[in-house]
């Protein structure tokens, strides 16, 4: 089977980006990270991409009049790189129909909560403030709403009584990396099927 050509969109640290790159390098994931898209030139993820030899498209939103304008450029870059699947992994920008419409069903996001609980920013802090005993991680298709697209996979993370945002984040990130790499492996083996809001992942 051909390698799955991925683009990762990220804005900050990029530990999920790194987990994907590492899985590709170890042979756990039959894929190629063909492009990193980043809206923050100083982000750590840009440095990670350079070290891994991944091509980077970095932009600054303020240099464009409208969100749609940089997205048109992103779509062009995705096509030029032969990307098959977009992974939003800590990409802190709202996206418009310029990206969502042509890429629906081929664009996924990782969110640090068990959706539909705690969508939007700071899923970890929201879960702690609410006092839930179990939170977790969701990987879902991206639609036009806020973290509202069809769910592909979820994993639970138990909240301990003495957890702080920092201690919980350590376990959340570990859960994210494992779940995301597993989902991408399923995509690379063409085992993911989307029908309406229902997503099934065929067993290996
Ligand atoms: C992760 O918690 C992810 O779920 C959220 O943004 C964070 C990105 O972390 N969407 P990193 O940049 O991959 O370390």
Does the CB atom of residue 13 touch ligand 1 within 6 A?
A: yes
Stretch 9-32: mean pLDDT? 98
Alpha helices (H) in 119-195, listed in sequence order: 123-130, 165-188
- State how far Cα 196 lies from the chain centre: 21
Cβ neighbours, 10 Å, residue 175: 18
Number of structural domains, the chain?
1
Alpha helices (H) in the chain, listed in sequence order: 15-26, 44-52, 67-80, 97-103, 123-130, 165-188
Is pLDDT at 1 greater than 90 in this prediction? no
The confidence score (pLDDT) of residue 201 equals 97
CATH number reported for the structural domain that contains residue 157 in this entry:
3.40.50.170
Ligand 1 nearest atom to the CA of residue 14, by list position: 12
pLDDT of 81-134, one tens digit each? 999 999 999 999 999 999 999 999 999 999 999 999 999 999 999 999 999 999
Stretch 130-141: mean pLDDT? 98
Does the CB atom of residue 111 touch ligand 1 within 6 A?
A: yes
The confidence score (pLDDT) of residue 169 equals 98
Is pLDDT at 204 greater than 90 in this prediction? no
The confidence score (pLDDT) of residue 170 equals 98
Does the CB atom of residue 163 touch ligand 1 within 6 A?
A: no
Q: Smallest Cα–Cα separation from 35: which of 5, 7, 72?
A: 7
pLDDT bracket for residue 181 (50, 70, 90): very high
The confidence score (pLDDT) of residue 164 equals 97
pLDDT bracket for residue 188 (50, 70, 90): very high
| Residue 60, CA atoms < 13 Å, CB-side half-sphere | 5
The confidence score (pLDDT) of residue 47 equals 98
Model pTM score: 0.97
Catalytic annotation present for 111: yes
What is the domain extent for residue 165?
4-201
Helix (H) or strand (E) holding 108: strand 107-111
By most ligand atoms within 8 Å of CB, the mutation choice from 10, 12, 17, 89 for ligand 1 is: 89
């Amino acid at each position: 089977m051909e390698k799955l050509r991925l683009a990762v969109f990220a804005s900050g640290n990029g530990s999920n980006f790194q987990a994907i790159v590492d899985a590709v390098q170890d042979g756990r994931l039959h894929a190629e990270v063909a492009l990193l898209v980043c809206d923050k030139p100083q982000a750590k993820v840009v440095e990670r991409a350079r070290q891994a030899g991944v091509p980077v498209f970095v932009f600054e939103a303020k240099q464009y009049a409208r969100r749609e304008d940089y997205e048109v450029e992103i779509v062009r870059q995705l096509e030029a790189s032969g990307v098959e699947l977009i992974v939003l992994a800590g990409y802190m920008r709202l996206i418009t129909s310029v990206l969502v419409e042509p890429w629906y069903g081929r664009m996924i996001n990782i969110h640090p909560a068990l959706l539909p609980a705690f969508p939007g920013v700071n899923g970890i802090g929201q879960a702690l403030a609410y006092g839930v005993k179990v939170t977790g991680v969701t990987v879902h298709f991206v639609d036009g709403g806020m973290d509202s697209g069809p769910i592909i996979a979820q994993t639970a993370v138990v909240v301990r009584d003495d957890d702080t945002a920092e201690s919980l984040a350590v376990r959340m990130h570990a859960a994210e990396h494992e779940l995301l790499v597993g989902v991408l492996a399923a995509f690379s083996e063409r085992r993911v099927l989307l029908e309406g809001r229902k997503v099934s992942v065929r067993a290996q």
